[in-house]
Structure 1
Amino acid sequence: MTAPASQRLSSSTLAGLPGTVLRPAYDRDATRIGIVHLGVGAFHRAHQAVYVEDLLALDARWAICGVSLNSRDVREALQPQEGLYTLALLGETTQMRVIGSVREVLAAREQGDAVLARLSHPDVRLVTLTITEKGYCLKGEHLDLAHADIVRDLTTPRSPVSAVGYLVEGLRRRRDAGLPPYTVLSCDNLPDNGGKLRRAVLQFAERIDEELALWIAGHATFPRSMVDSITPATDDALRERVAQALGCADAWPVQRERYTQWVVEDAFCNGRPPLDRVGVTFSDEIAGYDKAKLRLLNAPHSALAYLGSLMNVETVAQAMATPVLASFVERLMRDSIAPNVAAPRGFDAQRYAGAILERFRNPAIQHRLLQIAWDGSQKIPVRLLGTITDALAAGRPIDRLCLPVAGWMQFVRRQANAGVALVDPLNDALVSVGAATTGYADADVRAFLSLESVFAPLSGDARFVAALRSAYAVLGDASPDAVEQALADA
C-alpha cells in the first residue's frame, strides 16, 4: 500500500512507501545529535548527510543538526517532514532513498540562541561546514577583518551572524563550561580548507580574547578534506519524479550521481566517528587527493568543454557519446595526465581515471559544456598548465596536453568574434585578444601568451610555446570537422 500523493513525507508515511524506496535502517528516535552542520544546502544533504545516514546504522551518536546561516527555506521545507527528505541517485535507473540523518534544522538568523545551545551541547563533538568560499569571509589566506559580518561579530561576539563568529562563540561556551572543543571540519572545495578555517578562527578569537585563542589553538582541530559528487540543483521536475515514486510530496528532495568521494584528514580532537566504515577515506595526504581531482577530473572536464563546444556538443554525456571526443579524453587522462600525478599512498590513478570516464558517460547528468567553460582564465592554469609544467620537468611529451589549452584559445576567439561575452573575470582582456586574432598560429598564440596572469611563467618556455603553437595550428579554423580531425590524430 502506498501513501496518497496528497500526504507529505514524514515519519508517519515512511511505512507506506513503495518497497523500491530505501528508508532509514535504524531507529531515528534512538539517535543523538553529535554533529552540527553549517550550510545545510543540497550538496551537504546529498553527500555528507548520506555518509552519516549509513553511519547511524552503526553508531547512533552522530545525527545532524543542520544550520542555515542566512535563510529559513530549508527549515521551512524540512521541519514539517521531521527532517526527512529524498535523495535521487541518478544513473541508467534512478534509485530513491529517504534520508533521516538530519534530526534538526535551525535558521540562524531567527534561532541564534538555539544554534549556540546546540554548539555547546556535550553530545556535539563535530562541526562540519559547506558554506562556499564566500562564507569564510577571507581575504587571501586570512580573515577579512573589514567584512561587514566580521566587523559586526567582533563588536557583539556573543550574538554572531558569521560562520567564524558562531564557531568561536560555541568554542568559548564549551571552554567556560569545562567541555572539550569540537572538531571543525570544512567540506568546501578550496585548497587547504582546514588550514584556512583554523587561521580565520584563531585570528577572530585573538581579537576578542587572547586566552581563548590559545585554548582553541592548543585543543581544537581543523582537519582538511576533499569532497566530490555532482549534485544538480533541485527543480520542480525532480519534485514531481519523487512524488510519483514515493506516493507523497517532498518539499525539498535532492539528487546526485551515484559516485561520491569524501577524503578526510585524520585529525579529530573529541572522538572520531567511524566514517571509514561507511566509505570515507582517512588520509594525511589531502593535498595529493585535491591535485589528483584537479588534474584527472577537472582538466578533462575543461578539455571536453572547449573542444566539445567547438564541435557544437552541448553536454558532457553527449561529448562522451561522440567517439572522437571520448577516445581523445581517455588518452589525455591515461597517457598524458596520470603519469604526471604524484599519487597519494594507495591511490590508483588509472582506476580513478576509469571511474571518472564512467561518471562522464552518465546520461542522467545533464552537465552543460558552456557552464564548465566559465572562468577559463582561472581554471586553465591550475587544471592544465601545472601538469604541463611537471611534464616538461620530467622530459615527457606535452603535445596532447596543449590541445585543450589551444581549444580554450579558439573558443575565446569564436565567442569574441561572435560578440558573445565570456563568463570570466578577464572578460574584457580576453575579448580584446580574441577579437584581434587573425587565425595565424604565430600571431594568435603570441597575443594570448601576453596574458601573464594566465600563462606566466610558461610563456617564456620555448618548448611550451612551440607545442602550443602547433596545437593551435592543428585545430585550423576550429570548425567541427577540423577539431574532429585534430582529435583523431592526437
Structure 2
Amino acid sequence: MKTPIQLQQQNLAALKNGLPVPTYNRADNKIGIVHIGVGGFHRAHEAYYLQQLRQLGEASDWGICGIGLREADAKLHDIFKKQDHLYTLMVKHPDGKIEPEVIGSIVDFKMGVTDPEPVIARMADADTRIVSLTITEGGYNFNPTTGEFNFDNPDIQHELRHPNDPRTVYGFLTAALQRRRDNGLPAFTILICDNIEHNGDMARKMLLTFAEVQNPPLATWIAQEVRFPNSMVDRITPVTTPADIETLAQDFGVIDAWPVTCEPFIQWVVEDKFSNGRPAFEKVGVQFVPDVGPYEKMKLRLLNAGHSVLGLLGVLHGHPTINACMEDETFVTYLRAFMDTEATPILGDIEGIDLDDYKDTLLQRFANPNIKDSVNRICSESSAKLPKFLIATIHENIATGGSIKFATLVIAAWCYYSDKGMDRHGHPIEISDAMGTELHEAAKQTTTDPLAFIRQESLFGTLVKNERFTKLYTEAVQQIYEDPNIKKYMKELM
C-alpha cells in the first residue's frame, strides 16, 4: 500500500486517482457566501452543493468563508489553515460502500472570538451577498415556548452597549449591515440552515428585535432591505470518529485531520427570496418553492422527532446508535406507530410528497448500518430540540383530540434520563445540554412531585395543566422510575 498523502492544495493532483477532487481553480473564487457555524452538517450540505455547482464550471463568485464565533472553533480553524481549507466528505452507503470526495468550496475561515474586525469586514465586503448560518436551535437566543428574544443574555447586553465589539451572531450581523448601509452597499441575504420551523421568519424577528433596541434606524433599513428565506435542510451527518480518519488514510490514501461523514440522502428546499442574487443551486438538485412551511414541518415532525424518539428511548434501553435501535423490532414498530398516529395526522397534504413513501425512506435511512449515529449525539441539546420537534406535536394533538401516548412516553424517558444520567443497566450516560442543570434539578423532584419536570413552562408551555396529558405522563414516569425497562412500556402502548 502506498504512503497516505497529506490533504493540501498542492497534493490534489497526486490524490485525484484515488477519489474525486476539485477540478476548478480555487484561486479564482470570489467569496460570495459567509457561513457562521462550520460544523459537519454545513460541510456535508451547503458546501457540498456549492462544490457540485463549481464542478460544473459555475458559481466562481460564490466561494465560502467560514466564521467561528466560539472558542471551540479554533481547532477547525487550525486544521483548515494546514489543509488549505480542504476536507474530505465520506458518503456512507447502507451496503458498506464509502464514497469520499475532496471538497474545496470553502476558501477561507476567520475566527471572530479573538478579533471581530476581520469578520465584520468580510461580511461587509461588496462581494459578500449571502450570510448563512448553522448555529443549532440553541444559538438563536429565544425562549422556546414564547418565541421571544432573550435580552438577559450577558453577551447581548454587552453588544447593546458596545456595538463595535460583537460577541453573538446578532452583534456581528448588525455591525456588518450598518457598515454596508453606511457605504451604500446592498444588503446581503440571511439564509438559515438550521432545523427550526419558519427559520427565516424566526431569524428576521430575532434580528429586528435586537436591532430595534441597539440601533433603531438600522432596524428600519434591515426590515426593508434584508431577505430571510425560509429553508428546509436534511442530511444525517454523524460525528467524525478516529476510525473514519484511519479508514480514509488506509483505504484511500488521504491524511485529513477532520473529514466529515454523511448518508447518501440529501435535501434542501428553499424559498426563492434573496436580497442580492444567489448561486444556481437548482442545477444541482436544490428545490426552490414559494412556501417552504409544509416541507419544514414534515421534516421536523417526522425525521427530527423520529430521531429523538429513538434516541431518548434507545439510550435508556442501552442501544448505542440509531441503527442499533432500528435492528430492534420493538423500536421500529414503535417509531412507525408514532409517525403514523401522532405526527402524520397534523401534517396535512404536502404537494409533491407521498408521506408513506417519505416515512419508508426515513426508516431505511435510520437503519443505515454504516452511519452509526450515536444516541448520545441525538439526545444532546434536547431542551432546544424537543419543544419544536416533539412537544409541539403533543400540543397540536391535544387541541384536535389526537393520540399523544407515544410522544408522552418519550417525555417521561427524558425526565428519567435528565435525573439519573444512566441507562436501565446503571451505566452512566453522557448528557450534553445547555439546560442540563435546570433539567436535572426539575427531574430529581419527580419522586415527590410526579409533575415537577413538566412544570418548566419555557419547555412545556401549559402541558402541566392538561388533564389528559398529565394522567398519561404521571403513569409513564412512575413506571419508569420503578423499573426503567423502557421496552416493556413501549410494547404496552402498541
Q: TM-score, normalised to structure 2's length?
A: 0.81
Q: Identify which range, 372-381 or 85-94, moves more after superposition.
A: 372-381
8 Å contact kept, 1:192–1:224: yes
- CA deviation profile, 1:383-435 (whole Å, cap 9, x unmatched): 445445544655555565656556667878987996979955332332332x4
Show the 5 A alignment for 1:348-359: 348-359=354-365
2-structure distance, mates of 1:298, 1:310 = 19
1-structure distance, mates of 2:300, 2:177 = 34
CA displacement at 1:99 relative to structure 2: 0.3
- CA deviation profile, 1:174-196 (whole Å, cap 9, x unmatched): 22322211111122334443334
Q: Identify which range, 290-299 or 83-92, moves more after superposition.
A: 290-299
2-structure distance, mates of 1:212, 1:133 = 25
Name the CA shift for 1:77/1:470 in 2 (closer, same or farther; >3 Å): closer
User: Out of 68, 81, 84, which is 1:82 matched to?
Assistant: 84
- The question of 1:105 aligning with 2:118 is answered no
- The question of 1:222 aligning with 2:209 is answered no
CA displacement at 1:340 relative to structure 2: 2.9
Q: Identify which range, 455-464 or 48-57, moves more after superposition.
A: 455-464
Name the CA shift for 1:344/1:18 in 2 (closer, same or farther; >3 Å): same
Name the CA shift for 1:84/1:465 in 2 (closer, same or farther; >3 Å): closer
User: Out of 27, 30, 36, which is 1:29 matched to?
Assistant: 27
Show the 5 A alignment for 1:263-302: 263-302=269-308
Counterpart secondary structure, 1:55: helix
Show the 5 A alignment for 1:35-184: 35-56=33-54, 57=56, 58-70=58-70, 71-91=73-93, 92-109=96-113, 112-133=116-137, 135-138=139-142, 141=147, 144-145=150-151, 147-184=153-190
8 Å contact kept, 2:450–2:477: no
Cα RMSD (Å): 3.8
For 1:426, the aligned partner's letter is L
For 1:67, the aligned partner's letter is I
1-structure distance, mates of 2:133, 2:440 = 32
Q: Identify which range, 317-326 or 371-380, moves more after superposition.
A: 371-380
User: Out of 369, 385, 409, which is 2:375 matched to?
Assistant: 369
Name the CA shift for 1:97/1:449 in 2 (closer, same or farther; >3 Å): same
Counterpart secondary structure, 1:37: strand
Counterpart secondary structure, 1:357: helix
Q: Identify which range, 334-343 or 58-67, moves more after superposition.
A: 334-343
- CA deviation profile, 1:14-37 (whole Å, cap 9, x unmatched): 122253412224332333221111
Name the CA shift for 1:199/1:238 in 2 (closer, same or farther; >3 Å): same
In the alignment, structure 1 segments of 5+ residues that lack a partner are 437-445
For 2:27, the aligned partner's letter is D
Structure with bigger RCO (C-alpha 8 Å, 6+ apart): 2
CA displacement at 1:324 relative to structure 2: 3.0
Name the CA shift for 1:378/1:275 in 2 (closer, same or farther; >3 Å): closer
2-structure distance, mates of 1:429, 1:309 = 20
For 2:118, the aligned partner's letter is A
Name the CA shift for 1:394/1:27 in 2 (closer, same or farther; >3 Å): same
In the alignment, structure 2 segments of 5+ residues that lack a partner are none
Name the CA shift for 1:103/1:375 in 2 (closer, same or farther; >3 Å): closer
1-structure distance, mates of 2:171, 2:285 = 32
Show the 5 A alignment for 1:313-324: 313-324=319-330
Name the CA shift for 1:112/1:77 in 2 (closer, same or farther; >3 Å): same
Name the CA shift for 1:147/1:331 in 2 (closer, same or farther; >3 Å): closer
For 1:33, the aligned partner's letter is I
User: Out of 189, 196, 204, which is 1:198 matched to?
Assistant: 204
8 Å contact kept, 1:33–1:63: yes
CA displacement at 1:268 relative to structure 2: 0.7
8 Å contact kept, 2:170–2:210: yes
CA displacement at 1:235 relative to structure 2: 3.8
Name the CA shift for 1:3/1:172 in 2 (closer, same or farther; >3 Å): farther
1-structure distance, mates of 2:211, 2:418 = 45
CA displacement at 1:321 relative to structure 2: 1.0
2-structure distance, mates of 1:55, 1:243 = 27
Q: Identify which range, 158-167 or 8-17, moves more after superposition.
A: 158-167
User: Out of 435, 445, 449, which is 1:432 matched to?
Assistant: 445
Q: Structure 1 vs Structure 2: percent identity of aligned residues?
A: 35
Q: TM-score, normalised to structure 1's length?
A: 0.81
Counterpart secondary structure, 1:426: helix
CA displacement at 1:132 relative to structure 2: 3.5
Q: Identify which range, 397-406 or 236-245, moves more after superposition.
A: 397-406
2-structure distance, mates of 1:145, 1:403 = 34
- CA deviation profile, 1:424-482 (whole Å, cap 9, x unmatched): 5332332332x46xxxxxxxxx9349844477755666665676688789999564774
Q: Identify which range, 149-158 or 413-422, moves more after superposition.
A: 413-422
8 Å contact kept, 1:276–1:282: yes
2-structure distance, mates of 1:243, 1:101 = 22
Counterpart secondary structure, 1:72: helix
CA displacement at 1:151 relative to structure 2: 4.1
The residue number in structure 2 matching 1:447 is: 450
8 Å contact kept, 2:129–2:277: yes
CA displacement at 1:3 relative to structure 2: 7.6
User: Out of 347, 355, 369, which is 2:353 matched to?
Assistant: 347
1-structure distance, mates of 2:369, 2:131 = 35
Counterpart secondary structure, 1:15: helix
